[in-house]
Amino acid sequence: MTILSITNLSKSYANTAVFNDFSLHVKAGEVVAVLGENGVGKTTLMRCILGLTAADGGAIKLFGEQQTNRYRSAALKERWGVVMQVGAVNGQLTVHEQIQLHQSYYTHPVSVDALTQQVPIEPLLHKRFAVLSGGEQQRVLFALALIGQPQLLFLDEPSVGMDLNTRQHMWQCIESLKTQGVAIILTTHYIEEAYQLADSVVLLRKQAPAEQLPIKTMSLEQLMSTLTGAHVS
Amino acid sequence: MSQWIVEAQMDMRALLRSPSFYLPAFAFPVVFYFFFGIMLDFSNGHSDYLLISYACFGIMGPPFFHLAVSLASERTQGWLTLKLLSPMQFNSFIAAKLFNSALFSVVILLLLYIEAAWLADVRLWFWQWGLLTLIFTLGTLPFAALGMLIGALAPDRAAAGVVNLIYLPMALLSGLWFPLFLMPDWVQWVAYGLPSYHLVQLGYGVIGQGDEVSWYWHITYLCLFSVGMMLILRGLSGRFSGSNP
């Protein structure tokens, strides 16, 4: 089942094209990593799909529904989870309170127990978000994205600031979500993260068409040389 | 539990953990009334009149500051974007903030009533206390609408400053600190355009000291002002989610 379908999407800022005729199809249980230099349009692509930024042209279908403008229905939002690149929540509330608040938004939210089994946030539950480290905050934001049991997950540089153990735990969680049929769009600067998790990589480049690489048939070295050759940081 | 109730609970918890919000909101009207309405009593025994003035001044603060500052913070720090990407109902989110602002305003009113009755011997009929509470609680709406407009436009660090730039002159120009007849004519004309002037006149009306204009016109003005702010806000709705064209 195709969860996300993007056809000939284009977006430009001040007459400079961010991407042109960009197409992408993501099926249930598929992980697609979007890679590219800073400012190449990874976050803009996510924002176009999420309806935060209007695309100039092309078509976006989510769960088979054509999205004709920036409006995204509540029913659609029930089915996705999002970790934004610069995400934050009210620092005065504890993690447990944040979870309670986000649970109230969904028709079928996961319980706190189920969530803490998925993401190791139990020691953080009674701490205020503001006092957590960057990596801990990122972990909490990842957990919040899972509250609605999403079928499509957007992860915009989710492991920034995480230590190695936490990052590996998040990778395991993503693998587990994948086996449950969750489609995942992941932007990252860590090539090994993309290699570990993704079924394919979309390479965004300035002044050049985007390229989709089926990385499961490539070695990490091949992937790195392809990316390095394309001037990816 | 209904979404807006959970939202209001969490919003209240966050507010109660921010003494920089609630301490000035409670203290300023109570302290000002103590000095100008009770200690100095410039108005020669008109503590009931000044109670209305400072009640109006007091209830303007929470909706102004809460809506403006918290919306500006939630908007510019990306908290609201995250919420709007969830199935959260925006109306519930706003309703929770309006409810909490009104609740803070009611507490300020109660503090002033106790102070006035206890220290200034202000005696009103039960219906007058009740009607004043109703007027001033509903009267938070135009200031909440203006606060939301500031919250939609101002960066989070500037929001409190912008509110002060509007709140304090608005209180002064509406005659909440000094009677309007002591001020130049042009100030009185400015006052007619301010929601605080119309709200306080409704309050004065309850104790038989309102102006000659019918209460009906004051209410009409306050409703039109609130609707006008909401219409402007509707045009700016994209700013809440950090959306751009």
Q: What ipTM describes this predicted complex?
A: 0.89
If you average pLDDT over every residue of chain A, what do you get? 89
Tokens for A189? 């600067």
Question: What pLDDT was estimated at residue A233?
Answer: 46
Residue B199's domain spans which residues?
3-241
Flag if A93 and B83 touch (Cβ within 8 Å): no
Whole-number Å distance between alpha carbons of B74 and B62 = 17
Q: With contact defined as beta carbons under 8 Å apart, do B104 and B66 qualify? A: yes
Q: What mean pLDDT is predicted for residues A75-103?
A: 92
Q: Count of residues for chain A? A: 233
Whole-number Å distance between alpha carbons of A92 and A113 = 22
Residues 6+ apart with CB under 8 A from B61: B24, B25, B28, B29, B105, B108, B167
Whole-number Å distance between alpha carbons of A55 and A69 = 9
Torsion B36-B42-B46-B52 (CA) sign? negative
A212 vs B82, higher pLDDT: B82
Q: Give A192-208 as a DSSP string.
A: HHHHHH-SEEEEEETTE
DSSP-based three-state secondary structure for A10: strand
Query: In terms of CA atoms, which chain B residue is nearest residue A50?
Result: B85
Chain A positions contacting chain B at CB under 8 Å are 50-54, 70, 74-75, 77-78, 80, 82, 84, 86-90, 92-93, 97, 100-102, 104-107, 128, 141, 144, 148
Check whether A94 has a pLDDT greater than 90: yes
Question: What pLDDT was estimated at residue B245?
Answer: 42
Number of A/B CB contacts below 8 angstroms equals 75
Measured between beta carbons, the chain A residues lying within 8 angstroms of B18 are 92
Flag if B89 and A50 touch (Cβ within 8 Å): no
The partner residue sitting opposite A105, judged by closest CB among B81, B87, B242, is B87
User: Would you tell me the crossing angle of helices B19-32 and B47-62 to the nearest 10 degrees?
Assistant: 170
First and final CA of chain B: distance in angstroms?
Answer: 36
Q: What mean pLDDT is predicted for residues A176-202?
A: 91
Residues A180, A165, A26: CA angle, nearest 5 degrees: 30
Question: What pLDDT was estimated at residue A232?
Answer: 46
Flag if B87 and A97 touch (Cβ within 8 Å): no
First and final CA of chain A: distance in angstroms?
Answer: 33
Q: What mean pLDDT is predicted for residues A45-69?
A: 93
Check whether A231 has a pLDDT greater than 80: no
The dihedrals phi and psi of A65, each to the nearest 5 degrees, come to -100, 125
- Each domain of chain A, given as residue ranges in start order, spans 30-54+73-229
Flag if B7 and A82 touch (Cβ within 8 Å): no
Question: What pLDDT was estimated at residue B178?
Answer: 82
Measured between beta carbons, the chain B residues lying within 8 angstroms of A141 are 82
Domain tally, chain B: 1
Choose from A52, A84, A99 for mutation: most chain B CBs within 10 A: A52
Measured between beta carbons, the chain A residues lying within 8 angstroms of B88 are 105
Whole-number Å distance between alpha carbons of A79 and A153 = 9
- What digits encode the pLDDT tens for the residues B166-205? 999 999 999 998 888 888 889 889 999 999 999 999 999 9
Check whether A84 has a pLDDT greater than 80: yes
User: Which CATH number is correct for A30-54+73-229, 2.60.40.10, 3.40.50.150, 3.40.50.300, 3.30.565.10?
Assistant: 3.40.50.300
Distance in Å, alpha carbon of B137 to nearest chain A alpha carbon: 26
Query: In terms of CA atoms, which chain A residue is nearest residue B71?
Result: A90
Distance in Å, alpha carbon of B174 to nearest chain A alpha carbon: 35
Q: What mean pLDDT is predicted for residues A113-141?
A: 94
Distance in Å, alpha carbon of B8 to nearest chain A alpha carbon: 10
Check whether A22 has a pLDDT greater than 60: yes
Question: What pLDDT was estimated at residue B213?
Answer: 83
Choose from A101, A140, A155, A156 for mutation: most chain B CBs within 10 A: A101
Question: What pLDDT was estimated at residue A95?
Answer: 97
Residues 6+ apart with CB under 8 A from B36: B42, B50, B54, B177
| Ranges of chain B whose pLDDT falls below 50 | 244-245
- What digits encode the pLDDT tens for the residues A148-180? 999 999 999 888 878 888 888 899 999 999 999
Whole-number Å distance between alpha carbons of B205 and B210 = 4
Flag if A104 and B7 touch (Cβ within 8 Å): yes
- CA–CA distance from A201 to each of A58, A192, A223 (Å)? 21, 12, 9
Distance in Å, alpha carbon of B91 to nearest chain A alpha carbon: 12
